[in-house]
Structure 1
Amino acid sequence: MPFSSLPEHLADWGHRLTAAPIYLPAGDALQPATSLPFAAGYLVLMGESLSRQHLIATVDQLAERGVQWALLTPFTHVETEVVVLALSAYDRELVAWCKQQAWPLDAVHIEHLPTLSQPGLILMDMDSTAIQIECIDEIARLAGVGEQVSAVTAAAMQGKLEFADSLRNRVALLKGAPVTILDTVAANMPLMPGLTLLVDGAKAAGWKVAIASGGFTRFAGKLQQDLGLDHIEANEMGVDGDTLSGLVHGRIVDSQVKAQTLQKLQADYGIAATQTVAIGDGANDLPMLKLAALGVAIHAKPIVREQAQVAIRQGDLETVLCLLQAGTRIAELR
């Protein structure tokens, strides 16, 4: 089948690529195959408007680097189209190339993808990751100190301030605010798009899903109750009667605690190291992102996007489920 004869939009490829689960390039043609010839790395394209031109640009880039490829039959999850290329080599510079593309889709290059066919663990940040807000900023806004707290939050998430000290300083500004503010914020937390799809899909496959947050148990606990999460790790906001005390009780969940939580849950649940996923957006998420088999920066700060294995800029949390489904298809073909 001539490569150039395929429809422009990948959503229309399904009825053309039916002879086999894998296709190998042979000049301008795609030849069907039944087993993966390469497994040194993978390149995944995900989006709602994938086109043949995106794939051509990608394989041209692979050709420049001398990387051979095999195309898995594209699939669609909800509205996200997914194309997976199995590669003959893993190239760290290709990771940077994927992150730099100004496409209305996400390109990911990684050595290994976990599979939903085996037990696994997802550990995610909460604020601006599982939900669309920073809870402490919302509390501060209702308490009348929003601008002061938001400025410190932004600096901490960009890695410009030490997280534990910045958290104590922000919480101190909330002293005397009514406790009922917590209930107001908890009742109005907007979930990150794709969160429910990700959690439900992972849980249906028998995976464990947890939160490790530099935020607070009041909010993480509500998510745990609403979504059926297996574990939460978060901070305890101090209360003095009917008002906030301005203190944080106990150990602060900083970057190292997040990484330690990933290790502990992996051990507690008996999960293979190759089956761990971490998701976050701030600098204090980097250690757990680097520790996980699949570390995903979702709409992240620049420092996080640059250092993470995977940077999702266009899609939402559904893309993480798409990556796991891609890993499942790869495992079935190996």
Structure 2
Amino acid sequence: MSAILTLVANREATTLTSHDIDLATTLAAGREPTILSPGEAVDIPCAPLTPAQIDAIRAGLDTRAVDVLYGPCENRRKKILVADMDSTIVANETLDDIAAHAERLRPGIGEEVAAVTRRSMNGEIDFQTSLRNRVALLEGLPASLLEAAWQDVKINAGARTLVQTMKANGAVTALVSGGFTWFTSRVGAACGFHENHANHLTVSDDTFTGTVGEPILGPDAKLRHLIRIAATSRHPLSAALTIGDGANDLPMLRAGGLGIAFHAKPVVRRERMESRIDHGTLRSALFAQGYRGGEFVEE
């Protein structure tokens, strides 16, 4: 068998059952499963599957809060991790949070910014243009809103475990975001990423200027960082795990050896990604690489 189907249950919602495993094994025409974490995760060796077969397995398990991930047997443990930040490593959209805190100073700005963010992440608006337009709305507001927004940031479950486990196994880890370095530097340090990259929000006299540093780090730049890291670390792109949720993550998700859509926006879901985390946490990205639960560097 040259491929592996991995099932991961959301531990807070359900337990992976023998029926779940038998159903997926039958639909995949798979071989004897390997338990990665009892009641949580299992590997099922199988022949290469078509997108339609993966969709059928995912549909059969969807009401069970079980995620389906898929890839080749060879070189499963990746040597590079490139992760998006907003709505991936953290639960927040940090620019939206800044605007939400600005509501008392400029009523209506919160929903105005959030609406543009939603359209941008779903690929309805060019990312660079949408970022410039959203940042322009902040002009004249106090930069202290950054600290207020930081207090709301919640690191997603499994994020530190994902980063620390991959680092312990020799991977290069990078946080690459279309957000702002003010946040990525803090989130990167909290999770233990080797490096972080994002956009520069311009501040003058403790006030937002309404501009962002150029060139803007968007979808193409995320891909360039992935290619650079692969070249520098002397690993092929197939050795990379990339993970994100929005339209600006698609180029790097397609390029990595294991691209995982994490609680993804509709435009990303329509791409029929082979590996998706729709129900669970970032722990699933480790099971997708064949790690057993006992090997995790826990948070």
Both proteins in one fold, TM over 0.5: yes
* Alignment partner, residue 163 of structure 1: 127
* Alignment partner, residue 173 of structure 1: 137
Deviations 1:214-245 (A, max 9, x none): 10000001122222211112000011211000
Conserved? CA contact 2:91–2:153, under 8 Å: yes
**Structure 2: distance between partners of 1:114 and 1:234:** 29
* Alignment partner, residue 248 of structure 1: 212
* Alignment partner, residue 148 of structure 1: 112
Distance verdict in 2 for CA 1:72–1:53, change over 3 Å: closer
Conserved? CA contact 1:120–1:272, under 8 Å: no
Between stretches 302-311 and 205-214, larger displacement belongs to 302-311
Conserved? CA contact 1:212–1:234, under 8 Å: yes
Deviations 1:229-270 (A, max 9, x none): 111120000112110000001211111111111111111112
Distance verdict in 2 for CA 1:197–1:80, change over 3 Å: farther
RMSD: 1.9
Distance verdict in 2 for CA 1:98–1:209, change over 3 Å: farther
Shift of 1:112: 4.8
**Structure 2: distance between partners of 1:159 and 1:310:** 20
| 1:210 maps to 2:171 | no
Shift of 1:326: 4.6
Conserved? CA contact 2:92–2:154, under 8 Å: yes
Distance verdict in 2 for CA 1:241–1:112, change over 3 Å: farther
Secondary structure, aligned partner of 1:209 = strand
* Alignment partner, residue 295 of structure 2: none
Conserved? CA contact 1:70–1:86, under 8 Å: yes
| 1:55 maps to 2:55 | no
5 Å-filtered alignment, 1:254-293, equals 254-293=218-257
Which letter maps to 1:93?
Answer: A
Conserved? CA contact 1:137–1:150, under 8 Å: yes
* Alignment partner, residue 120 of structure 1: 79
Which letter maps to 1:198?
Answer: L
Secondary structure, aligned partner of 1:295 = strand
**Structure 2: distance between partners of 1:98 and 1:302:** 19
Shift of 1:45: 1.0
* Alignment partner, residue 324 of structure 1: 289
5 Å-filtered alignment, 1:27-66, equals 38-39=1-2, 41-47=3-9, 48=11, 49-62=15-28
Distance verdict in 2 for CA 1:312–1:219, change over 3 Å: same
Distance verdict in 2 for CA 1:113–1:221, change over 3 Å: farther
Conserved? CA contact 1:216–1:235, under 8 Å: yes
* Alignment partner, residue 28 of structure 1: none
Percent of pairs with identical residues: 31
Conserved? CA contact 1:113–1:294, under 8 Å: no
| 1:87 maps to 2:46 | yes
* Structure-1-length-normalised TM-score: 0.80
Shift of 1:271: 2.0
Determine which structure has greater relative contact order: mean sequence separation of CA pairs < 8 Å that are 6+ residues apart, divided by chain length.
2
Conserved? CA contact 1:123–1:212, under 8 Å: yes
* Alignment partner, residue 74 of structure 1: 35
Deviations 1:185-230 (A, max 9, x none): 2243100111011111111111111111110000001122222211
* Alignment partner, residue 111 of structure 1: 72
* Number of equivalenced pairs: 281
**Structure 2: distance between partners of 1:115 and 1:46:** 16
Secondary structure, aligned partner of 1:156 = helix
* Alignment partner, residue 297 of structure 2: none
Distance verdict in 2 for CA 1:239–1:313, change over 3 Å: same
| 1:312 maps to 2:277 | yes
Between stretches 178-187 and 235-244, larger displacement belongs to 178-187
* Structure-2-length-normalised TM-score: 0.88
Secondary structure, aligned partner of 2:209 = strand
Give 5+ residue unaligned stretches, structure 1.
1-37, 328-334
| 1:136 maps to 2:102 | no
Conserved? CA contact 2:173–2:193, under 8 Å: yes
Q: Larger radius of gyration, structure 1 or 2?
A: 1
**Structure 2: distance between partners of 1:113 and 1:304:** 26
Which letter maps to 1:52?
Answer: S
Distance verdict in 2 for CA 1:96–1:287, change over 3 Å: same
